[in-house]
Chain A
């Protein structure tokens, strides 16, 4: 079956612009995660969704970052007023259930470059 997909694959934006990154999880997966992978910080957790609610958004680095999930499926990560330090690869993962030890399946990521 289809895996986790993310779009766009690459995004170049100017400092100060807003960007939206999209994640399509595996069908039927109720848990969805966003991570950020950058040279300086490694792989960091951003936010976790169970269904449409986000019980853990502790990893969002500032209030410029927000995410939503609709219909228990697609999720959008929005970064407002982008800064150069936001440049990174944003990875999305999904799993069957958040509270059980089900494998997290990752998408190919979106590489964001802020110029």
Chain B
């Protein structure tokens, strides 16, 4: 158990819909990262938040957005969903100053039909 909690574990929805994925980081970790993992693209960095502020942005589509709340949990919002958005979405957290050492949640598997 990494200490990072993600919900829901599985989600099936239709094209054009909007979903929200939720993440609670490890106790004490201020940084939250979102990654997308698909068979053809591997693990792709989407976005990072640190203590409520956006710190770095990766290959995140404009249809996707995220935020980190005062209690440090984070949400990833995916809208106007397309078939190609089907993937595993991972949240991770890290200790300040050790950005390469991520603790991942178990992921949310999104299926868009």
Say whether A associates with B: no
Q: Interface of A with B (CB < 8 Å)? A: none
